[in-house]
Structure 1
Amino acid sequence: MGLFSRVRDLLGTRSEPPLTADDPDLAVVAASFDPAEADSAALARAREWCEERPAVLRHHLTLPPDRFGEAATILAQDGWELREIPWPDPDSAEPGQVRVHALRVQVLDALHCAQERSRMAGLAQRLGGDSLGWDALQPVPPQA
């Protein structure tokens, strides 16, 4: 290890690789699938969530398949990625709907969770779909 690396480590300026939605170490640390639950309550009960660290905020939506592209274009303007996902149980599939995740890396707080949940619900409704809820993922800390 070079002198520069040791000084950087001592000063705490070592940068971590940026978090991505495809990080294999991600685990769900907070979630809300109850439309009546306040996002602040969901975050308050989230014992594994670290509020200082970025997280992948993941909204679970259903959309008509022919509106997927439109939704992806709208959401991409604010850094969201839209991904189609399989139904967990094929018998639960809603006719004429696809399941999607809207994903974005951000630092979470109750206000922004609530704003984005409202936005996703409005977008899904306008496009003929539904917003099912959200969860947040962060890397699992290494076991000591």
Structure 2
Amino acid sequence: MILERFLRRRRPEPAPVLVDDGTLTVVGSCFDPARADSAVVAEMRAAGVAVETGVFVMRHVLTLPDLAASDEAARILTPDGWAVAAPAPDERPLRVLISRQQVLTGLEPARERTRMAGLAQRLGGDAEGYEVLARG
């Protein structure tokens, strides 16, 4: 009983859940394939963004050939917690926004950018880049 009380008090507060709903601001981005993702994180730190303790949403921008490719991306990514949205489904090529809450390290953006590039290529599209979003 005493141990349960101690453990309950020691549990960290859950991180607030962020959703790419239009209320978040861009605190970092990379649309240059030659730019290092660790440089993006370093620039965010230099700008005063609390990278180590902050809660962020990474939003990847992909161009895909059509809605079928967007649906396939959603089928693949949704089980891993990604939200997939095509703001203007009638445009060609289709610009697709893929986002989820992420822990931000120097490695995480690189890993996710590689994953998105592979997915876009497999679906006949291209990964343009990503933005890191946070509360004001």
Shorter chain as denominator, the TM-score bin is 0.7 to 0.9
- 1:20 has 2:22 as partner: no
Q: How many residues align?
A: 120
Counterpart pick for 1:123 among 119, 123, 126 = 119
Letter paired with 2:71: G
Query: Structure 1: which 5+ residue stretches go unaligned?
Result: 1-12, 88-92
Question: How well do the aligned residues superpose, as a CA RMSD in angstroms?
Answer: 2.0
Letter paired with 1:81: A
TM-score, normalised via structure 1 length: 0.75
**Hey, what does 1:76 align to over in structure 2?**
78
Q: 2-side partners of 1:48 and 1:137: how far apart?
A: 14
Secondary structure at 2:35's aligned position in 1?
A: coil
Letter paired with 2:33: P
Contact 1:62 1:129 (C-alpha < 8 Å) held by counterparts: yes
- 1:33 has 2:37 as partner: no
Query: Structure 2: which 5+ residue stretches go unaligned?
Result: 1-11
Q: How high is the sequence identity, in percent, across the aligned residues?
A: 45
Contact 1:30 1:49 (C-alpha < 8 Å) held by counterparts: no
Letter paired with 1:63: L
Letter paired with 1:111: L
Q: 2-side partners of 1:97 and 1:60: how far apart?
A: 12
Counterpart pick for 1:45 among 43, 61, 65 = 43
Q: CA deviation at 1:15?
A: 6.7
Contact 1:39 1:114 (C-alpha < 8 Å) held by counterparts: yes
